[in-house]
Structure 1
Amino acid sequence: MNEPTPSTNPPSAKGRAGCFIIIFLALAGGGWLWMHRPEPAAAGAPGGRGMRGGTAAVTVGEVKQENFDEWVSLAGTVTPLYVVTVRSRVDGQLDKVHFVEGQMVKAGDLLAEIDPRPFQVALDQAKGQLERDEALLANAHKDMDRYTMLLKQDSIARQQVDTQASLVRQYDAALTSDRAAVASAALQLSYTKVTAPLTGRVGLRQVDPGNMIRSTDANGLVIITQMDPIGLICNIPQERVDAVRRRLASGDKVQVEAVDKEMNKLLGRGHLLTTDNQIDLTSGTLKLKAQLPNAESLLFPNQFVIARLLVNTIPNATVAPANAIQRGAKGAYVYVLQEAESTVSMHTVTTGPTQGDRVLITEGLKPGDKVITQGVDRLREGAKVEVIIPGKPPAGRLAKSGDQDKAKGQGKGDKAAMLP
């Protein structure tokens, strides 16, 4: 049986024409896409960064000479300068409470009253004894006057006069004791009115009215915490101790700021009071104590904050924008603008501490230098740059001369590509 022979007929003319049409359309579409491809975005323009025609768009900042404040940030805890547990100074029944839990009180405000009747009775007794002894003393003085007269007439013995003089002195001493007893009873009576020993915020009441209250109660009546001014405790590394102690010894107030833990909100500003007398061997830090005004009660006892201390002020320092500093294998460097040639040169610099958007320059720059702050990613030594001002439209130019001809031919309907 014969095998079927494969067909060797050439493709028809209609099939070849279809293939040519498909190829032609593909080439035409690719050419259209190539002619209408988007231009690369210029450096500093929305949508991208970079260079066009060998020129990089950059922003610059100026190196200045000014006083540089060196701050150090530490973890701190708000601590009251004074905390007092209010206790009764006499034993008795608590009659009235005159404060509301959590309220602010002033020194001398009446907080509570204890039943005063037992103490009033004791005061009356002391006053009665005083009056009795005063009467006895008055009678003794009169007898003394009579005995003295009789002694002059040689009618009585001198011993009787001396005995009467001793009795007068005894009554004088009794009056002194009686007056002290009256003062003591009056003082005990005054203690039945419990007053605030300082200005501050009262805490929760520890004893309710009607209960017996004693001077030996451990919890007392209430706790008062001074809120304004308030203290701040923080620990500084031992490497910074000398600078802080030198400023304290010179009489300068070391400025202290308290900010929230996100370092977004300033909570208070005050000054350093003192330092501890020894460095903690475990942490290698020294404890510091500061005082801050707190009229708005933004700081609360035992609150965690970030404490910022002004440890040093360097006068007439060379300061540069912090975002101009670049790091490489050889250390820190910046690109300095050469305004006459619109080029940049790379300068190696030695930096000090950074505060916010400023950095201290100890070597490599001088005041008045213009340094590149943005657009440094594609720069090199001697690169051509064009300075742009953030927020201000750059003075553009047409990207290509061919685009200019095209724009003229097509009229206002087409927009030429602009290069910053």
Structure 2
Amino acid sequence: MNDTPNQPAAPQAPTPPTPPTPKAPDAPAPRKRRGRWILALVVLVLVALVVMHVLRGKKPAPGAVAQVVTVASATLGPMPVTLDALGTVTPIATVTVLPQLSGYLTEVGYREGQEVVKGQFLAQIDPRQYEISKEQAEAQLAKDRASLAQARADLARFTQLHEKQSIAEQTYTDQKFLVAQDEAAVKADLANIKQFELDLAYCHITAPVSGRVGLRLVDPGNYVTASSSTGIAVITQMKPTTVQFTVPQNSLSSVLQRVNAGAKLPVTIYSSDNTRELATGTLYAISNQMATATGTVTLRASVPNDDEALFPNEFVNVRLLVDTMENAVLVPTPAVQSGAPGDYVYLVNANNTVSVHKVTLGPGDGQHTVIAAGLAAGQRVVTDGLDRLNDGAKIQPSGAKPGAPHGASAARMGNAAHAQSGPRPAASGASASSAASQAAPASPAS
């Protein structure tokens, strides 16, 4: 066995040197610092918002600063139940004076805008042709009366002859008919004379009603006809006048109940912008039909209008007093809030904290609102500064010293609220019963 000699190992190829890894360029230092500052600022803002939200939701601590607010006591008093609506001044009479015969207009006896009374002279139509016709009728009457007298005399003679049978029966009968014809002719003549007298009266045009004359429609010298639709003048009765308005069908039952009981419901008329009281009157008529398109019924009020403050066809606001609630619990309207809990007030407790108190509202007059349920007379409510309050907040009534008893302040507030004036004009529709809503607390007290 031959030993194989160890052969030398093959030489290995040399490993190429590894190239150095290129070093990434460093980011600019100012850009890094700016990004960190922005991130930190955003985080701080978010933290501040969260803290504010948490603190706002918490009830005030026992030592929290009391909010200065205005309070008032609920009082007992009358509250008018009213219906507000838009109305139109509707004159009792608007008359267009038309000529009743044809002729030339010779005279106009009124001034534009003048107040006239019934029977006052307005205009004159040339009467000469009607005077001539009357004279002709009078002449015909005289002629027919003479014929009648002759016929009656002949009939008297014929009657004597007829009794002696000295005349034919036919002759006697014909004479009686002739007398009857002449009598009818005389009656016709008298009627013609009356007609011409009436025509002459129509030539003298007078006011059919009392009122105010409008602008002149025709001038002297024009030929007018009985078929003209323009007229000589338009007269509008200014006083008394009426105001026509509508109420919704849901409110009609209360009105009918009072009217059927014999009540005379007062009506107050305000200007179209609700800034001035113009007149007062009473409801006197209700339509017998309801407008199906609008679901309303038309009412009419009578107004004396002695000072002529109401102008025909003027748009006005109407307030109808339907009834009056006696001994109602009243609070100033700003105290009433509306929100998620419904209608509520901030009730002032004995320790000068407030609680959300749900109430049931009744009618209002713009200054006060009736609390139908949920509040008693004498209880105090917040009327101003409500936007800074929540359930359980501490308050300091305006004008009271911190820590002072609330009795005197409450009495002053209650008297001030009770002394406020009566109803003011409101917008068209039902009377406002609550103020604008504020943000509602989460958990109202019962």
Please report the TM-score for the alignment, with normalisation by the length of structure 2.
0.68
Aligned with residue 211 of structure 2, among 175, 196, 200: 200
Match of 1:287 in 2: 298
Match of 2:98 in 1: 87
Aligned with residue 104 of structure 1, among 109, 115, 131: 115
User: Aligned AA for 2:315?
Assistant: F
User: Aligned AA for 1:195?
Assistant: T
| Structure 1 contact 86–222 (Cα < 8 Å) conserved | yes
Structure 2 residue 156 is matched with structure 1 residue 127? no
Specify the SS of the correspondent of 1:191.
Answer: helix
Name the stretch that deviates more: 211-220 or 237-246: 237-246
User: Percent sequence identity over matched residues?
Assistant: 37
Aligned with residue 352 of structure 1, among 319, 337, 362: 362
Aligned with residue 301 of structure 1, among 312, 335, 342: 312
Match of 2:157 in 1: 146
Match of 1:278 in 2: 290
| TM-aligned CA distance change 1:395 to 1:318, over 3 Å | closer
| Structure 1 contact 336–370 (Cα < 8 Å) conserved | yes
Aligned with residue 63 of structure 1, among 75, 82, 86: 75
Name the stretch that deviates more: 258-267 or 245-254: 245-254
Specify the SS of the correspondent of 1:277.
Answer: strand
| Structure 1 contact 60–387 (Cα < 8 Å) conserved | no
| TM-aligned CA distance change 1:100 to 1:171, over 3 Å | same
How far apart, in 2, do the equivalents of 1:370 and 1:93 lie?
Answer: 80
Q: Is there any run of 5+ residues in structure 1 with no aligned partner, and where?
A: 1-50, 389-393, 399-420
Match of 1:161 in 2: 172
| Structure 2 contact 100–225 (Cα < 8 Å) conserved | yes
Q: C-alpha displacement at 1:117, in angstroms?
A: 0.6
Counterparts of 1:19-418 in structure 2, within 5 Å, are: 54=66, 56=68, 58-66=70-78, 68-272=79-283, 273-275=285-287, 277-281=289-293, 283-336=294-347, 347-374=357-384, 376=386, 381=392, 383=394, 385-386=396-397, 388=399
Name the stretch that deviates more: 324-333 or 351-360: 324-333
| Structure 1 contact 130–178 (Cα < 8 Å) conserved | yes
Q: Calculate the aligned-residue CA RMSD, in Å.
A: 3.1
| Structure 1 contact 59–375 (Cα < 8 Å) conserved | no
Q: C-alpha displacement at 1:75, in angstroms?
A: 2.2
Query: Which structure is larger by alpha-carbon Rg, 1 or 2?
Result: 2
| TM-aligned CA distance change 1:144 to 1:369, over 3 Å | farther
Specify the SS of the correspondent of 2:183.
Answer: helix
Q: C-alpha displacement at 1:104, in angstroms?
A: 1.5
How far apart, in 1, do the equivalents of 2:327 and 2:154 lie?
Answer: 92
User: Aligned AA for 1:159?
Assistant: Q
Q: C-alpha displacement at 1:349, in angstroms?
A: 1.2
How far apart, in 2, do the equivalents of 1:163 and 1:317 lie?
Answer: 95
Q: Is there any run of 5+ residues in structure 2 with no aligned partner, and where?
A: 1-62, 405-446
| Structure 1 contact 276–288 (Cα < 8 Å) conserved | no
| Structure 1 contact 326–333 (Cα < 8 Å) conserved | yes
Specify the SS of the correspondent of 2:289.
Answer: coil
Q: C-alpha displacement at 1:316, in angstroms?
A: 4.3
Q: C-alpha displacement at 1:367, in angstroms?
A: 3.7
Q: C-alpha displacement at 1:178, in angstroms?
A: 1.3
How far apart, in 1, do the equivalents of 2:138 and 2:125 lie?
Answer: 22
How far apart, in 2, do the equivalents of 1:215 and 1:130 lie?
Answer: 28
Please report the TM-score for the alignment, with normalisation by the length of structure 1.
0.71
Q: C-alpha displacement at 1:279, in angstroms?
A: 1.7
Q: C-alpha displacement at 1:374, in angstroms?
A: 4.0
